[in-house]
Amino acid sequence: MYLCINGDIMEDKKINPLLTGSAETMLQSFYARAKYSRKKNAKFYDAKAIELVGKIDYDFSKAEKDSTMSNGVIARTIVFDELVKDFINKNPDCTVVNIACGLDTRFYRMDNGRITWYNVDLPETIEVRDAIYHESGRVSTIGISATDPAWADKVTKRGKMLFIIEGLSMYLTSDENAQMLSIIRDKFDNATVLMECLAKKWVNKERTEKSIQDTGAKFVFGADTFDDLGKAADGFRCIKNDDIIRGMTEIMPILKPFRKLPFLKKITQKILIFEKA
């Protein structure tokens, strides 16, 4: 997995990110949010994604055709936005750590003028993000792997903490996910975690999302409930086993009569909500 930029990043030049593997999936998600935001009555509007799609030199044609990937990204964005906004409303001076942020712009939709927000991702990804967003102050970046404990020391504003893990756990092994969660458990107090997990049914079946398969990324981990995290969840207690079904019904109302069917719950992405015990 690598990333480089050809030439200087200038306002009048296109950004040319060359990515492989899971790092490339951030562009697929980014494009899906931009495309959805152009729709009438969209549940969220990602102005940054719309602005920047035209500035990135990348072939989005596969993402354009991959409705499975796009619908999953949009549904989880709708539900994550709801959950994050609720947490911030209850804790207006909280600190949010967005792990594997990619080009995510949730801070700009959630900001209440008081929160502190850290975007964490691999150094090469943060290099691109910094060139685009130039973030500082209450929203800033940390370029370190999520499994490296060193990132925790760079989160200097503490207090009530919310950790967002979106679009990452399925690309990490069980041991890597355990390492990431152990950093949160050992380094922070007052920690609440929102962790997206692939349904176990889809592990090793990345071919169902063609644009993801073509990046070379592999789905290697899944969990349907908090209990499925096993020892990785030691030191945490479950708040709720959530999922993205209500997000799916927002973009596909035809699913509403079926939203409580066990089959639908079995195949959709999960959002596990838990806190430090």
250-273 pLDDT, tens digit per residue, is 988 888 888 888 888 888 999 999
| Pair of tokens at residue 190 | 């007052």
Helices and strands per DSSP (H, E), number in the chain: 11, 9
Task: Enter the CATH code of domain 14-276.
Answer: 3.40.50.150
- Residue 207 pLDDT: 53
- Residue 177 pLDDT: 97
Q: For residue 277, how many other CB atoms are within 10 A of its CB?
A: 10
- Residue 209 pLDDT: 46
Closest CA to 16 of 135, 131, 144, 104: 131
- What are 127-138's pLDDT values in tens digits? 888 888 889 999
The dihedral sign for the CA sequence 243, 245, 246, 248: positive
* HSE value, Cβ hemisphere, 13 Å, CA-based, for 154: 18
- Residue 11 pLDDT: 46
| Residues 162, 90 contacting (CB under 8 angstroms) | no
- Residue 47 pLDDT: 85
- Residue 7 pLDDT: 38
Q: For residue 103, how many other CB atoms are within 10 A of its CB?
A: 24
Per this entry, what is the length of the chain? 277
Q: Mind spelling out the 3-state secondary structure of 3-27?
A: EEECCCCCCCCCECEEECHHHHHHH
| Residues 21, 216 contacting (CB under 8 angstroms) | yes
pLDDT tens, residue order, the chain (277 aa): 333 433 343 345 666 655 545 556 667 777 888 889 988 888 888 888 888 777 777 666 766 665 666 788 899 999 999 999 999 999 999 999 999 998 899 999 999 999 999 999 999 889 888 888 889 999 999 999 999 999 999 999 999 999 999 999 999 999 999 999 999 999 999 999 999 999 998 886 655 545 445 545 688 999 999 999 999 999 999 999 999 999 999 988 888 888 888 888 888 999 999 999 9
| Pair of tokens at residue 11 | 């306002």
Three-class SS of residue 125? helix
- Residue 27 pLDDT: 75
* HSE value, Cβ hemisphere, 13 Å, CA-based, for 180: 27
User: What pTM value is reported for the model?
Assistant: 0.84
Domain ranges of the chain: 14-276
State how far the alpha carbon of 6 is from the alpha carbons of 12, 13, 48, 51, 240, in Å: 14, 10, 22, 20, 45
State how far the alpha carbon of 202 is from the alpha carbons of 36, 55, 205, 270, in Å: 24, 33, 5, 12
